Structure 1
Amino acid sequence: MLKTLSLLLLSLATYASASPVKVQANCTTPTVRRSWHDMAEADKKAYLEAELCILKAPAKTSKMPGAKTRWDEFASLHQLHALQIHSTGQFLPYHRYFLHIHEALLAECGYTGAHPYWDEPRDAGKFPQSPVFDTKLGFGGSGSGTQSCVQDGPFKNLTVNIGPGFTTQPRCVNRKITNALSSLTNKAAVDKAIAPTTYDEAWITIYNGPHLGGHMALAMMNGDSITSAGDPLFMLHHGFVDKMWWDWQMKDPSKRFTEMGGPNAQDPSTGFLEFPGGIEQESSMWGKPTAAMLAVTPDPRSGDSGNVVTLSHIMTSLGIIPDATVGDVMDPAGGYLCYTYK
């Protein structure tokens, strides 16, 4: 049951003051991110082959506890940052940066095309019929068995070593589709999510709306909020989430490319918005970070002067790619990033 959002809204500080967005390069020809529905077959094949490459490549940084593969290192970032990038103002910018990290890993494996997303409203109410779940040019379908392991498609019989929760135990790539919940990502839900006029409202409506609805409908990696990024399908879902933020920004870009706010870490008494109880109570579901994890987990206030996310907030991939600020990722075609959506 969702917690009362008004309490959180009252606790948020006023918007972080806008500072100039740092531009590191020119973006004269942005790549165009398209829905999986609209990608050419050759591009789908190349993308899936690159994902398999990341899943099988050995770890490189030796920084993430329990990581054995390059994919494990990537999934570990989501695990280590979990209490900073969910139910906080960091949610949207960090996941945009997370997609950019993924692009770098895809490039390591030879894929240099645009990052895809899943136009979930197109399939709302009928997820299993989506081309996203094709067994040859998609991600395989719903899992089965006690662990809901994916039974077909390119990610069958593959192992991820991050999770569940704050543990590092080998498990299959898994998901369980509940079609009735997929209607939570329909156009009406998206329109409602991007209707607010302030960032402090919008990140919450996007988070609690189609973002959460998609996760509920897919139950990736046993529905684990901490390590759901272990399923490659996560990246298409969060491409959709990023597009929602982009759509919201494009309603008033001169203002919304610099508007940021919200807490930079979970309120201990609130924890995840979608679960009852605070962080301590919720830890009964997935444990607590180990000492080794805490040793590499960044300070959630890095770059900020207090507990509110600012454009100067520093986001890290622990060495996979260079650190970036929230300001860097605000405009997807601003220079640090160079893409748009179709």
Structure 2
Amino acid sequence: MLSALASTIILAAAASFAAALPTATADGASKCTTPEKRKSWHDVSESDKKAYLNAVKCVMTSPQKLNRLPGAKTRWDELVSLHQIHALQIHTTGQFLPYHRYYLKTLDFLLRECGLPKEVTLPYWDEPRDAGKFSKSPVFDKVLGFGGSGVGAQSCVMDGPFANLTVNIGPGFKTQPRCLNRKITDFLSSSCGASYVTSAISGSTYKQALDAIYSGPHLYGHMALSMMNGDSITSSGDPVFFLHHGFVDKMWADWQAKDLTKRLKDISGLNAQDPAVGFSEFSGGMEVESAMWGKPGQELLAVTPDPKSGDGGGTITLNHIMSSLGIIPNATVADVMDIKGGYLCYEYA
């Protein structure tokens, strides 16, 4: 039998864990009572940085589990493959902001699977603090960061905790192993400054905010980092991607907070790219863009979700169903609209 002391410790631990979970309301929905605080990497403690980096490395080296995503050899590959599979549905569409919010939740699950303690929350990058000088950011510290700009013809990251790691997904719609790489260009990061952020979230409708965030600080952040050879489809191979998209998610959350009652239901746009447009940051539409990264093959198409799932048409709705193909359960856009709505339970510090 357990000693009285051991029983007390177990009960206390169980109570602590339960307190951290969303609580059920009378109608069976969950309620966010104690939102976790997501901090900028600048403000994360040294011990929490180490725990986060170790968990990311664990995901990167853990064997894949789904056995259905082409080219995936690790759990990290599966995460990157999700972005590849959904690429034509989650860029230059109304899905962009909600899917990437759901994608961050998927990362959180994988990190917990690798032992990330509950008290260590997903970090983001407060990019305005480093605008114009990204390369000097603590994000790229060689010990308590993600390593710096890559070297050589392929810009492979050769320092920090992710030196010499391989990503098996990409480039584009291919599955050809390549080094984890990035190339930092400081002057491009100037467009992630505070005034640009203020402008990006100044619109009154979701469409205005979506377009301004996507084509503004989001796009310039990607250009300044050139993650995975600047590949829009598999840039999530670089773990810095998730700090950048934490920043993007914060911009959306800050925009929503300006008129929360109205904006928690404001969603619009296509649920898949217009072939004539493709990625808005490139010209010529899908056919021209396919010369850069090819087209999805039959293996990818076989696991690609129907972009109209939950909508009944080509326009995104709150009922739109988002999928991680089995890593975490599917969710609707409505589930992720409120970061403190129960399905999600966090706020930005």
Give 2:19's aligned residue: none
2:347 alignment partner, SS class: strand
Asked if residue 29 in structure 1 is aligned to residue 34 in structure 2, the reply is: yes
Asked if residue 209 in structure 1 is aligned to residue 216 in structure 2, the reply is: yes
1:149 alignment partner, SS class: coil
Q: Is the 8 A contact 1:23 1:328 kept in 2?
A: no
Pick from 260, 263, 268: which aligns with 2:267?
260
> How far did residue 299 of structure 1 move?
0.7
Asked if residue 299 in structure 1 is aligned to residue 306 in structure 2, the reply is: yes
Q: Distance in 1 between matches of 2:97 and 2:29?
A: 21
Structure 1 segments of 4+ aligned residues over 4 angstroms from their partners: none
Give 1:95's aligned residue: 100
Pick from 234, 254, 264: which aligns with 2:241?
234
Give 2:160's aligned residue: 153
2:81 alignment partner, SS class: helix
> How far did residue 23 of structure 1 move?
7.9
- 1:164-183 pair list within 5 angstroms: 164-183=171-190
TM-score, length-normalised on structure 1?
0.93
Pick from 314, 317, 324: which aligns with 1:317?
324
Q: Is the 8 A contact 1:23 1:334 kept in 2?
A: no
Give 1:330's aligned residue: 337
Q: Is the 8 A contact 1:23 1:335 kept in 2?
A: no
Give 1:279's aligned residue: 286
Give 2:90's aligned residue: 85
Asked if residue 51 in structure 1 is aligned to residue 67 in structure 2, the reply is: no
Q: Deviations over 1:208-245 (max 9, x none)?
A: 00000000000000000000000001000000000000
Q: Distance in 1 between matches of 2:333 and 2:298?
A: 27
Give 1:114's aligned residue: 121
1:144 alignment partner, SS class: coil
Runs of 5+ unmatched residues, structure 1? 1-21
Q: Distance in 1 between matches of 2:39 and 2:300?
A: 35
1:143 alignment partner, SS class: coil
State the structure with bigger RCO (CA 8 A, min sep 6), 1 or 2. Answer: 1
Asked if residue 66 in structure 1 is aligned to residue 77 in structure 2, the reply is: no
Q: Distance in 1 between matches of 2:260 and 2:30?
A: 20
Q: Distance in 2 between matches of 1:114 and 1:54?
A: 16
Q: Distance in 1 between matches of 2:309 and 2:210?
A: 20
1:201 alignment partner, SS class: helix
Asked if residue 105 in structure 1 is aligned to residue 110 in structure 2, the reply is: yes
> How far did residue 26 of structure 1 move?
1.8
Return the index of the structure with the highest Cα Rg.
Answer: 2
Q: Is the 8 A contact 1:127 1:179 kept in 2?
A: yes
Percent identity (aligned): 67
Give 2:16's aligned residue: none
Q: Distance in 1 between matches of 2:322 and 2:126?
A: 27
Q: Distance in 2 between matches of 1:159 and 1:186?
A: 32
The alignment yields a C-alpha RMSD, in angstroms, of 0.9
Aligned residues: 321
- Change in Cα spacing, 1:250 to 1:23, as seen in structure 2 (3 Å) is farther
